[in-house]
Amino acid sequence: MDNDLQRKNEENPLNFVKIVPDDQPHIWILNDNLCLTECENKPCTYVCPSRVYYWEDQSIKILHTRCIECGACIWGCPYENINWNYPRGGYGICYQY
């Protein structure tokens, strides 16, 4: 499965989505400390289909303009530590097919 792994790291799913970026974020971590001290696996970093979340410098970083609005992170977070809202009307994901 070496090939798979390579693809996993190289692929960029965002080449195949149209997103109208909103300069106002629509996602927040409620308590950064919880991610650091309680959350072992950090599921937000892998259940998110477009990799909005990543772990760096002891905290979860959020790239909200990558979000394709499935909402998986809201319930995927074992500590309900993500405050997720829809982007403003007209912004965000805009599917063509």
AA letter at 58: Q
CA 22, CA 37: separation in Å to the nearest integer?
A: 31
User: Smaller CB distance to other proteins: residue 26 or 32?
Assistant: 26
Which residues from 30-89 bind other proteins, rule CB under 8 A?
41, 43, 46-47, 49-51, 68-72, 74-76, 78, 85-89
What is the DSSP-derived secondary structure letter of residue 41? S
Tokens coding 85: 């809202």
User: Smaller CB distance to other proteins: residue 33 or 83?
Assistant: 83
CA 63, CA 65: separation in Å to the nearest integer?
A: 6
Q: Can you tell me which of 2, 7, 28, 83 binds other proteins, judged by CB under 8 A?
A: 7
**Residue 55, burial from CB neighbour count under 10 angstroms (0-12, 13-18, 19+):** middle
Q: Closest distance between other proteins and the C-beta of residue 44, in Å?
A: 9
* Residue ranges in contact with other proteins by CB under 8 A: 3-4, 7-8, 11, 13-14, 16-17, 20, 41, 43, 46-47, 49-51, 68-72, 74-76, 78, 85-90, 92-97
